[in-house]
Amino acid sequence: MLKAITAIGIGGALAVLMLSVMMEGGSPASLLNIPAFMIVVGGTAGATMASTSFAQMKLIPKLYKVAIKGSVEDFRTAISDMVALAEKARREGLLSLERELQTMDDEYTKKGLQLIVDGTDSSLVRSILQSEMDGMAQRHAANVHLFNTAGGFAPTLGILGTVLSLVHVLENLSAPATLGHSIAGAFLATLYGVGSANLIYLPVANKLRELSEEEMSKRYMLLDAILSIQAGDNPRLLAERLETYLPPTGRGAEAPKKPEPVPTPTEQKEAA
């Protein structure tokens, strides 16, 4: 449910819009105007494409899927795994972590642990992993900017569509019986432009920004954990420090118990 909250929000907003139209005595079919739709959607796509690269435009279907499907970063599991790795490194040495790399899915964590297993200086480890985060942040910012750009163009294209329709209406003043219907249809372009910007493009941009910030926060936590493992810090103190990345209500729920060691991710898979 929480993962689909973006889809629920957009769908709910559109449903309320349709309901309000019906309560006013109208019909959802009255909001259909193909030429106005083409002007707004096609014009917004063209203007957005002119503002970015084709490679970025190809990402749009994937970005919609990411925003609508959503993803919840599992901080608790990550903390448990990193504490387990810290305990293993303390018992058996940093080289013992090399076995864990074979079953690790997260490439960022895998790279960090590989660096400390290889004996890389801590300042260089921090620099490399920070560069990874900076690159990710730039890519995410470009994705957010793509939808913010579309959200800026859509209302303007809607007004343009309305103006073009009104020009056509003024050319046919000799048919007063159709003026009301034609003027109403002309303003649908503005509705499409403002509606698509505020119900689709900008909400998707905001969702992508939120997901990026959450992923960045998790990576900062992992960076902190990796450097602590390299320094040989106490696993229990590490757990307490990593829990500061959680909201207060989520802290201490699954703190590692002493003296029994927490199994590493590889040991957990083998036990299963």
- Render pLDDT for 169-179 as a digit per residue (tens, 0 to 9): 777 777 676 67
Q: Which residue has the tokens 């699954």?
A: 254
104 and 126 both lie in a single domain: yes
Check residue 168 and give its pLDDT: 80
Which one-letter DSSP state was computed for residue 3? Answer: T
Percentage of the chain exceeding pLDDT 90: 56
Is residue 109 a contact partner of residue 227, using CB atoms and an 8 Å limit? no
Q: Does 41 score more than 90 pLDDT?
A: yes
53 and 145 both lie in a single domain: yes
66 and 138 both lie in a single domain: yes
Distance CA 55, CA 122 (A): 36
186 and 166 both lie in a single domain: yes
CA quadruple 137, 138, 144, 148: dihedral sign: positive
Q: Which residue has the tokens 């103006």?
A: 163
Looking at per-residue pLDDT, the higher value among 270 and 137 belongs to: 137
Looking at per-residue pLDDT, the higher value among 158 and 3 belongs to: 158
57 and 131 both lie in a single domain: yes
pLDDT digits (tens, 9 = 90+) for 244-253: 988 877 666 5
Paired tokens of 244? 């500061």
23 and 102 both lie in a single domain: no
Q: Does 217 score more than 70 pLDDT?
A: yes
pLDDT digits (tens, 9 = 90+) for 87-98: 999 999 999 888
173 and 66 both lie in a single domain: yes
Distance CA 245, CA 215 (A): 12
* Enclosing domain of residue 91: 34-272
The mean predicted confidence, pLDDT, of the chain is 86
Distance CA 149, CA 50 (A): 11
Position 259 confidence tier, pLDDT thresholds 50, 70, 90: very low
Is residue 221 a contact partner of residue 245, using CB atoms and an 8 Å limit? yes
What is the average pLDDT across 149-158? 95
How many domains does one find in the chain?
2
38 and 22 both lie in a single domain: no
Who contacts 190 (Cβ-Cβ below 8 Å, separation ≥6)?
Answer: 155, 158, 159, 161, 162
Percentage of the chain exceeding pLDDT 70: 88
Tell if the pTM clears 0.85, that is, is over it. no
CA 165, chain centre distance (Å): 37
Is residue 161 a contact partner of residue 191, using CB atoms and an 8 Å limit? no
56 and 4 both lie in a single domain: no
Distance CA 138, CA 67 (A): 17
Is residue 165 a contact partner of residue 185, using CB atoms and an 8 Å limit? yes
Distance CA 85, CA 154 (A): 50
Cis status of the peptide bond prior to 259, with omega within 30 of 0: yes
Ramachandran quadrant class, 120 (left: phi over 0; alpha: psi -120 to 50; beta: rest)? beta
Pick from 168, 152, 167, 159: which is nearest to 187 by CA? 159
Is residue 44 a contact partner of residue 155, using CB atoms and an 8 Å limit? no
Position 264 confidence tier, pLDDT thresholds 50, 70, 90: low
Position 31 confidence tier, pLDDT thresholds 50, 70, 90: confident
Q: Which residue has the tokens 């229990």?
A: 236
95 and 199 both lie in a single domain: yes
189 and 61 both lie in a single domain: yes
108 and 79 both lie in a single domain: yes
